[in-house]
Amino acid sequence: MAFDKQRVLDSVQEVLAGVPIPGTPTNVIKAGCIQRVIARDGEVTVVVEFSKEISVHAEKIKEQLEQVVSAIDGVERVQILQKAPEKTDSPAPGGPSSVGAQEVPGVKHIVAVASGKGGVGKSTVAVNLAIQLRNLGFSVGLLDADVYGPSTPKMLGTEGSRPQATDRNTIVPLERFGIVTMSIGYLLEEDSPVIWRGPMVTGLLRQFLFQVEWGELDFLILDLPPGTGDAQLTLVQSVSLSGGVIVTTPQDVALLDVHRGIQMFSRVEVPIIGIVENMSVFHCPHCGEKTEIFSAGGGEAAANKFGTTLLGQIPLDPAYMRAGDDGTPSSVLDPSCELSRVMAGVGQQVAAAVGASPAS
């Protein structure tokens, strides 16, 4: 029998209304505890948020939620994701977060890949960086933290796969091309819009950081949401980062975007490993003529202006886009292509910057 998403969502709404808040006459829906319900292929994910007063009953409520949703016909698996509570006090500029940066158990180095705006190829860089670090002999994980437009499932060819929940209330990440990976995209239906409030983004990503069984990793690559807003800043404040890589394009206006990214990392004293310039130049496949479609020199100018390193320049080539769309990144599909060569160099520089060496 085909999975009837609408029927399941209606049933979830009905059974959740019957889950009470202990010691009160209300239920979890009226109390505003239910933030989002995602239903897909027999699995239901319920994202919850509890106020300070209700949080003392959190475990009991989550247990009840799992029980009633599991009983719905057609539901095979249930995940309850609890959003971290929103903080009322904002950290001072340049100061530590109120929570404090945390280590992810078993992970030696966390590197964030960021961009001042979307559409510059940040995810392409993050995915290929992860693969090239794996090629260097490191154990690598990739967290697609771009909850607004998760693209790594498509780029890795794992769109139809589903991570599994454990009885320890953790998630087992997927493995592809020798790297382990997690993304909100695995919990959403294809083409489903993702509408999150900033604090909710932070809470969900913290769960992906600390409740996913990453295992022992040399590197965890974070593909951050584009931009430099509160969600991005809070995320980089809450986890202990070894460094940040900023992705940009060649235009002069890229200086502004790079500046925003550098300011974000600087506020929390995260070292900037360097800049990757994407879409740097186009080589005509017929005549070989070089065309600088998006102007030239933006990445190098930004690196010089802000005293950091230009890690590499990736040319504009439709083949790289097709590789990502087909689910096999260029670093896997064609190790001899220019993107692979550039990103291999970027991987070496990232490893050197954090003082990492692969196990012999």
- At 15-66, the pLDDT tens digits run 999 999 998 888 998 888 888 788 877 888 888 888 888 989 999 999 999 9
Indicate whether 208 and 120 sit together in one domain.
Answer: yes
Of 82, 99, 124, the residue that ends a domain is 82
Cα distance between residue 214 and residue 107, in whole Å: 8
In a domain, 87, yes or no: no
Indicate whether 119 and 245 sit together in one domain.
Answer: yes
Indicate whether 168 and 283 sit together in one domain.
Answer: yes
- At 312-351, the pLDDT tens digits run 999 888 888 889 889 999 999 999 999 999 999 999 999 9
Q: Domain count for the chain, please give it.
A: 2
Predicted confidence band at 96 (pLDDT cuts at 50, 70, 90)? very low
Local structure of residue 57 (DSSP, 8 states): G
Indicate whether 64 and 186 sit together in one domain.
Answer: no
Indicate whether 143 and 237 sit together in one domain.
Answer: yes
Indicate whether 54 and 116 sit together in one domain.
Answer: no
Indicate whether 67 and 160 sit together in one domain.
Answer: no
In a domain, 88, yes or no: no
- At 219-274, the pLDDT tens digits run 999 998 877 666 677 677 778 889 999 998 887 666 677 888 888 887 777 889 99
Indicate whether 116 and 186 sit together in one domain.
Answer: yes
- At 128-150, the pLDDT tens digits run 999 999 999 999 999 998 777 78
Indicate whether 196 and 116 sit together in one domain.
Answer: yes
Give me the pLDDT at residue 97, please.
35
Indicate whether 134 and 266 sit together in one domain.
Answer: yes
In a domain, 74, yes or no: yes
In a domain, 135, yes or no: yes
Give me the pLDDT at residue 196, please.
54
Cα distance between residue 281 and residue 292, in whole Å: 5
- Residue-number span of the structural domain to which 31 is assigned: 5-82
Concatenated DSSP letters of 6-39:
HHHHHHHHHHHTT-BPTTSS-BTTTTT-EEEEEE
Q: What is the pLDDT averaged over residues 104-123?
A: 88
User: Is residue 157 pLDDT above 80, yes or no?
Assistant: yes
User: Is residue 2 pLDDT above 80, yes or no?
Assistant: no
Q: Which two tokens stand for residue 58?
A: 């959190």
What backbone torsions phi and psi does residue 202 show, to the nearest 5 degrees? -60, -45
User: Is residue 72 pLDDT above 90, yes or no?
Assistant: yes
Question: What's the mean per-residue pLDDT of the chain?
Answer: 83
Indicate whether 128 and 200 sit together in one domain.
Answer: yes
- The CATH number given to whatever domain includes residue 241 is 3.40.50.300
Predicted confidence band at 95 (pLDDT cuts at 50, 70, 90)? very low
User: Is residue 298 pLDDT above 50, yes or no?
Assistant: yes
- At 14-26, the pLDDT tens digits run 999 999 999 888 8
Give me the pLDDT at residue 88, please.
41
Cα distance between residue 330 and residue 93, in whole Å: 39
Give me the pLDDT at residue 93, please.
33
Helices of type H across 268-311: 298-306
In a domain, 141, yes or no: yes
In a domain, 29, yes or no: yes
Predicted confidence band at 158 (pLDDT cuts at 50, 70, 90)? very high
Of 32, 65, 82, the residue that ends a domain is 82
In a domain, 359, yes or no: no
In a domain, 89, yes or no: no
Q: What is the pLDDT averaged over residues 70-83?
A: 88
- The CATH number given to whatever domain includes residue 36 is 3.30.300.130
Of 39, 65, 82, the residue that ends a domain is 82
- At 161-212, the pLDDT tens digits run 888 888 777 889 999 999 999 998 887 665 555 555 555 666 777 788 888 9
Indicate whether 116 and 206 sit together in one domain.
Answer: yes
For strand 243-248 and strand 174-176, is the pairing parallel, antiparallel, or unpaired?
unpaired
| Residue 13, number of CB atoms within 10 A of its CB | 12
Give me the pLDDT at residue 306, please.
83
Distances (CA, A) of 344 to 50, 89, 119, 206, 300: 45, 42, 22, 29, 19
